[in-house]
């Protein structure tokens, strides 16, 4: 709730801010350890793959973005990011 108040205070006066409780086609799912996103188009796939290269830099421990199977991405933060990053490094 605090985040929505901050966002609302930074919007120009008269801006309408709507939230959508459902994402079409079930492309986003919140799991126990990660946020799962499936690309619906080639453009979305390109953007998400670009994010993988930017987010997973060597200087940042988290968040950690993983693709697998192709077109399906998982975003980890906190302890889950460290656990997955370590497991990926071991393999």
In a domain, 7, yes or no: no
In a domain, 16, yes or no: no
In a domain, 52, yes or no: yes
φ/ψ (deg, to 5) at 89:
-70, -30
In tens, the pLDDT along 31-82 reads 888 999 999 889 999 999 998 888 887 777 678 999 988 999 999 998 898 8
Domain of residue 68 covers 25-90
In a domain, 9, yes or no: no
pTM of the model: 0.64
In a domain, 71, yes or no: yes
Number of domains in the chain: 1
Going across the sheet that includes 34-38, the strands are: 28-30, 34-38, 72-76, 64-67
In a domain, 20, yes or no: no
N- to C-terminal Cα separation, the chain: 40
pLDDT band with cut points at 50, 70 and 90 for residue 29? confident
């Amino acid at each position: 709730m605090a985040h929505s108040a901050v966002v609302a205070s930074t919007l120009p006066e008269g801006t309408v801010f709507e939230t959508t409780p459902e994402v079409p086609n079930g492309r986003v799912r919140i799991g126990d350890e990660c946020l799962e996103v499936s690309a619906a188009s080639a453009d979305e796939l390109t953007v998400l793959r670009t994010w993988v290269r930017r987010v997973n830099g060597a200087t940042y421990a988290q968040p950690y973005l993983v693709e697998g199977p192709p077109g399906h991405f998982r975003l980890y933060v906190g302890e889950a990011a460290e656990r997955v990053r370590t497991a990926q490094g071991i393999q």
